[in-house]
Amino acid sequence: MPVLPGQEGHDGSPTIAVLHAADLPPGLADHTSDAELRFATDDTLADTLPGCDALLVWNFTSDAVRAAWPAADTMRWVHTASAGVDRLIFPGLVDSDVTLTNSRGVFDTPMAEYVLGVVLAFAKDLPQTVRLQGRGEWRHRETEGVAGRCAVVVGGGPIGHAIARLLAAVGLRVRLVGRRPADGVHGIDELDALLPEADFLVLAAPLTDRTRGLLDAAALRRLKPTSRVINVGRGGLVVQPDLVDALAAERIAGAALDVFETEPLPADSPLWGMPNVIVSPHMSGDTVGWRDALVELFAENLARYRAGTPLRNVVDKARGYVTGSTGGSA
């Protein structure tokens, strides 16, 4: 991991811009008492960046950094309160000497628990049970088991590995897919051959040029009519109209979607009304205390920055993710 040159800020105290929306990072001031904090929203970020050494992208759903970037005249380090960095992979930042770090490690277990939850919900037909209960209707059904079923998990980073461990623990056969083959990991080039085997296709990869539109009409045709798709990665991994068509035609059995190309999901999206779809509002990693964990990770990296020691979670800006995990990220 690189050590940033000149990591001391002005007068030995770093100046940090914090891009936020309605909420502020909880307890951030307690961890940054010797730093100058400049809080900004989308419309004030460009005026806030001049003279700043670091930027905390607390509002990680914002696209404001790209537009405001020309004002970042003294920037050395950008940290995002998210695992995905696709909104920050733009030429100005990528081509600069600025170090980019992310919040890898905070969301692994919560997202794996979400995936396990929707796998069981589909197998046990829980959405239909809730609908029938709401109508006061007693209708006995048989449900599915999960032991021995196959889950193909796309994403060879920590989140993908956490998902694979939990699904294997309840008896699923897991095929983990990463950027390149490794021990227990299939390479992304093997995905097409694995799709016909998938009872559950889980997308947990970062959004890069290579993974954008990964699940398109051709890939969907390789799935079984009984397959379910689960997307906790990024909306852009899926060609959404192709997925809607496959669901409407019952070419696949269902989908659980936590991320979308456009967020919030528009009110007129057909996905809202599909009985075989579970829609959640980009919350699969957000368990009680997650904001505190994000602040603690940033505070640890800030201490490293001040000490001139290597930062955690340095992103390879050319690839769009932190490298070094087993099998790489897809």
Which one, of 210, 36, 43, lies nearest residue 56 by Cα? 36
Residues in CB range of 216: below 8 A, 6 or more apart = 239, 242
Per the residue annotation, which of 251, 282, 306, 319 is the catalytic one?
A: 282
Q: Is residue 234 annotated as a catalytic residue, yes or no? A: yes
10 is catalytic: no
Residue with tokens 């947990």: 204
Q: Is 141 a catalytic residue?
A: no
Tell me how many degrees the CA angle 211-214-219 measures, rounded to the nearest 5. 155
For the chain, what percentages of helix, strand and coil (3-state, to nearest 5) are there? Answer: 35, 20, 50
Q: Which region, left, alpha or beta, applies to residue 162 given φ > 0 means left and ψ of -120 to 50 means alpha?
A: alpha
Name the active-site residue from 186, 234, 291, 312: 234
Per the CB < 8 A criterion, the answer to whether 153 and 177 are in contact is yes
Residue of 304, 294, 313, 302 lying closest to 32 (CA atoms): 302
Prior bond of 264 cis (ω within 30°) = yes
Length of the chain: 330
Q: How far apart are CA 127 and CA 134, in angstroms?
A: 11
- Known catalytic residues are 234, 263, 282
